[in-house]
């Protein structure tokens, strides 16, 4: 098996760290990016050229099986034992032992001296206290004080304590990291699309315990008939042409409700697994889902890590979570590539994208509710979902209070699933108006022409055309004008507004608006224009331009102007 370039770099970074530092390294590779080949390669080298002994620790049997399979391919001559009650094996005395932490954590001394302790899903190591991982590692270092720990994870942070690599933690330094977006661009992970559910929930009344929403309250919130039926209808509508949809519910009762609604109202068969599902039944359901015989699968807390079904092309989040790691792991089920899979659609009904940010730029918070500046907010007057940077609602004109007086808004999830991800929408234009804009914070700045496009009943998008600027901005303004008018390009903004109001410009029939995740501004990127009007006859009929009184701000705060 040949490693991908970034996997080879990760292995080299681990070796460099072990050679040059005395502490313990961590490798960060996204879900679906292939941590197991990195682990297998390190084991092969440690046992072969270096004559060492290795223990691989994981918390679910699926990860143990994956590690054993990759080792057989990469290092078929390396003796490998498995120590796991779930796999009904308790092998000792091997060069490499792949162990379930629940089975092995009190048996470190039984293994004898070990040189490398490799922890998959290393974010599960607690930062302090006892815990199974910490007990095993401490005991293993009693047997061999020189043993080194290598961690691998997709999420190098914990919900409450922040980064897992700190000088006082077991893992001390991220020696290699590659991001979700980078692997998507390189073609190693599936592209993602996101869509917010039309059904919105507010988590404001939920209590937080140990850094997470109280589970029973979450299930009561999400298990309302209207929300379940609306979410199921959206899921069916958006997945007509998709191969496999994985649904995360908020509890067993909620999950069974989802399954029943999909069957009774939409004729859709949906499997269901939870921690209470018998092992044989669970295995049969997962096999049907992996084979494609079952297109929809709902689960509660069991398919977040270690579950590998590359053909998943839709993930539906019907549970809000305070945990950035859990949010990432749920979305990560759709990261893997598969023949015929163009992308993975993420349907978020729990406000998770808004709460945590794009999966490649998750925001860590230090307070229990994860509160802080969100990338989107809901207008309390018209309930529009708008970028957080707006002080004036572009749909109804509602004025938001200044940030230092503002409390948190009702939450919704309109943020892109990837930072920088671009979404575009076309809108029919019902009216276009032209205004002279003076920058409030700098009255000496050049004037600009503010073009406002009205779409729908009372929604507006804005565009700024810089006739009074120089260089590229002026050149762009000239091209903008020539595309719309047979009149000579105006010398400045005031003349441009005067001519525009007199009818010198072709009408905008529709516009294309772009929104990039992580940015607060929507931008008008393209226009469908009508015919250019004929030349105006002299100056007769031109409305007289009357400058606005000093201090006029036109209702547009400076921080909403993208220049």
Looking at residues 104-127, what average pLDDT do you find?
88
Residues 285 and 384 in one domain: yes
Whether pLDDT at 406 is above 50:
no
Residues 346 and 197 in one domain: yes
Range of the domain at 514: 422-560
What is the distance between the alpha carbons of residues 549 and 51, in angstroms, rounded to a whole number?
A: 83
Whether pLDDT at 443 is above 80:
no
Whether pLDDT at 379 is above 50:
no
Does 387 map to a domain?
yes
Cβ atoms 405, 383 nearer than 8 A: no
Please give the tally of structural domains in the chain. 3
Does 493 map to a domain?
yes
Domain end residue (candidates: 148, 178, 208): 178
For residue 408, what pLDDT band results from cuts at 50, 70 and 90?
Answer: very low
What is the distance between the alpha carbons of residues 140 and 371, in angstroms, rounded to a whole number?
A: 40
Whether pLDDT at 534 is above 60:
yes
CA neighbours within 13 Å on the CB side: how many for 88?
A: 0
Least confident among 193-197, 359-363, 453-457, 539-543: 539-543
Tell me what pLDDT residue 146 has: 93
User: Within 10 A of 418 (CB to CB), how many other CB atoms are there?
Assistant: 25
Residues 303 and 377 in one domain: yes
Q: What percent of the chain has pLDDT above 70?
A: 82
Does 410 map to a domain?
no
Does 416 map to a domain?
no
Does 377 map to a domain?
yes
Bridge-based pairing of strands 96-100 and 54-58 is parallel
Does 71 map to a domain?
yes
Identify the residue with better confidence: 265 or 193.
265
Residues 384 and 457 in one domain: no
For residue 455, what pLDDT band results from cuts at 50, 70 and 90?
Answer: confident
Residues 388 and 505 in one domain: no
Residues 433 and 367 in one domain: no
Largest CA distance in the chain: 99
Does 522 map to a domain?
yes
Q: What percent of the chain has pLDDT above 90?
A: 45
Whether pLDDT at 205 is above 80:
yes
Burial 431-464 (b: 16+ CB within 10 A, else e): ebebbbbbbbeeeeebbbbbbbbbbeeebbbbbb
Instruction: Tell the residue number behind the tokens 């978020």, with chain if given.
Output: 348
List of residues 6+ apart from 165 with CB closer than 8 A? 26, 156, 171, 172, 173, 174
Residues 327 and 266 in one domain: yes
Q: Looking at residue 79, which CATH number applies to its domain? A: 3.40.50.300
Residues 439 and 367 in one domain: no
Alpha carbon 132 to chain centroid distance?
30
Residues 317 and 459 in one domain: no
Tell me what pLDDT residue 290 has: 92
The DSSP annotation for 138-183 comes to: HHHHHH-TT-EEEEEES--EETTTEES--TTSS--EEEEE--HHHH
For residue 380, what pLDDT band results from cuts at 50, 70 and 90?
Answer: low
How does DSSP classify residue 482?
H
* Per-range mean pLDDT, top range of 59-68, 351-360, 473-482, 549-558: 473-482
Residues 217 and 340 in one domain: yes
Best CA proximity match to 2, nearest among 70, 94, 93, 51: 70
Best CA proximity match to 89, nearest among 100, 73, 78: 100
Does 414 map to a domain?
no
Domain end residue (candidates: 374, 405, 436): 405
Residues 461 and 337 in one domain: no
- Mean pLDDT, all residues of the chain: 82
Tell me what pLDDT residue 364 has: 56
For residue 439, what pLDDT band results from cuts at 50, 70 and 90?
Answer: confident
Helical pair 36-47 and 5-20, crossing angle rounded to 10 deg: 50
Residues 369 and 470 in one domain: no
pTM of the model: 0.64
For residue 161, what pLDDT band results from cuts at 50, 70 and 90?
Answer: low
Residue 213: exposure state from Cβ atoms within 10 A (0-12, 13-18, ≥19) = buried
Best CA proximity match to 268, nearest among 296, 248, 288: 296
Identify the residue with better confidence: 257 or 131.
257
């Amino acid at each position: 098996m040949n490693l991908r370039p970034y996997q080879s770099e990760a292995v080299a970074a681990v070796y460099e760290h072990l050679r040059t530092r005395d502490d313990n390294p961590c490798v960060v590779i996204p879900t679906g990016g292939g941590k197991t080949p990195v682990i297998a390669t390190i084991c092969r080298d440690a046992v072969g050229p270096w004559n060492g002994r290795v223990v691989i620790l994981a918390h679910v049997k699926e990860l143990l099986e994956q590690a054993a399979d990759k080792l057989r391919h990469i290092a078929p001559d390396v003796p490998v034992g498995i120590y796991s009650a779930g796999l009904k094996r308790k092998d000792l005395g091997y060069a490499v032992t792949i162990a379930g932490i629940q089975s092995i954590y009190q048996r470190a001394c039984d293994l004898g001296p070990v040189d490398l302790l490799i922890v998959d899903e290393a974010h599960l190591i607690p930062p302090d206290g006892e815990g199974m991982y910490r007990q095993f590692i401490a005991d293993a270092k009693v047997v061999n004080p020189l043993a080194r720990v290598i961690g691998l994870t997709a999420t190098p942070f914990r919900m409450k304590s922040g980064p897992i690599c700190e000088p006082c933690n077991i893992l001390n330094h991220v020696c290699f990291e590659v991001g979700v977006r980078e692997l998507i661009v390189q073609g190693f992970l599936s592209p993602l699309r996101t869509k917010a559910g039309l059904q919105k929930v507010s988590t404001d009344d939920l209590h937080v315990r140990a850094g997470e929403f109280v589970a029973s309250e979450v299930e009561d919130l999400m298990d309302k008939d209207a929300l379940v039926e609306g979410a199921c209808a959206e899921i069916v509508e958006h997945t007509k042409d998709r191969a496999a949809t994985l649904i995360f519910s908020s509890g067993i009762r909620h999950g069974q409700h989802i399954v029943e609604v999909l069957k009774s109202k939409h004729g859709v068969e949906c499997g269901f697994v939870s921690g209470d599902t018998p092992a044989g039944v669970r295995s049969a359901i997962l096999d049907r889902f992996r084979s494609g015989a079952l297109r929809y699968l709902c689960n509660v807390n069991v398919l977040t890590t270690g579950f590998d079904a590359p053909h998943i092309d839709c993930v539906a989040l019907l549970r809000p979570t305070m945990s950035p790691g859990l949010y990432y792991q749920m979305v990560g089920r759709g990261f893997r590539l598969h023949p015929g899979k163009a992308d993975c659609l993420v349907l978020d009904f729990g406000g998770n994208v808004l709460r945590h940010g794009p999966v490649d730029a998750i925001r860590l918070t230090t307070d229990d509710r994860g509160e802080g500046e969100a990338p989107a907010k809901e207008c309390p007057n018209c309930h529009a979902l708008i970028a957080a940077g707006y002080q004036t609602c572009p749909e109804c004109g509602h004025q938001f209070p200044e940030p230092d007086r503002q409390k948190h808004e009702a939450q919704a999830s309109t943020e892109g699933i990837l930072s920088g991800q671009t979404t575009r929408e076309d809108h029919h234009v019902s009216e276009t108006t032209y205004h002279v804009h003076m920058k409030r914070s700098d009255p000496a700045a050049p004037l600009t022409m503010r073009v406002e496009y009205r779409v729908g009943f009372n929604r507006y998008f804005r565009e700024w055309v810089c006739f009074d600027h120089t260089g590229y901005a002026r050149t762009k303004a000239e091209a903008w004008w020539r595309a719309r008018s047979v009149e000579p390009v105006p010398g400045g903004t005031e003349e441009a507004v005067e001519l525009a109001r007199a009818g010198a410009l072709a009408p905008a029939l529709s516009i294309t608006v772009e929104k990039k995740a992580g940015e607060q501004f929507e931008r008008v990127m393209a226009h469908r224009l009508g015919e250019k009007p004929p030349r105006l006859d002299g100056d007769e009929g031109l409305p007289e331009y009357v400058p606005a009184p000093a201090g006029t701000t036109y209702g547009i705060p400076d921080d909403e102007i993208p220049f």
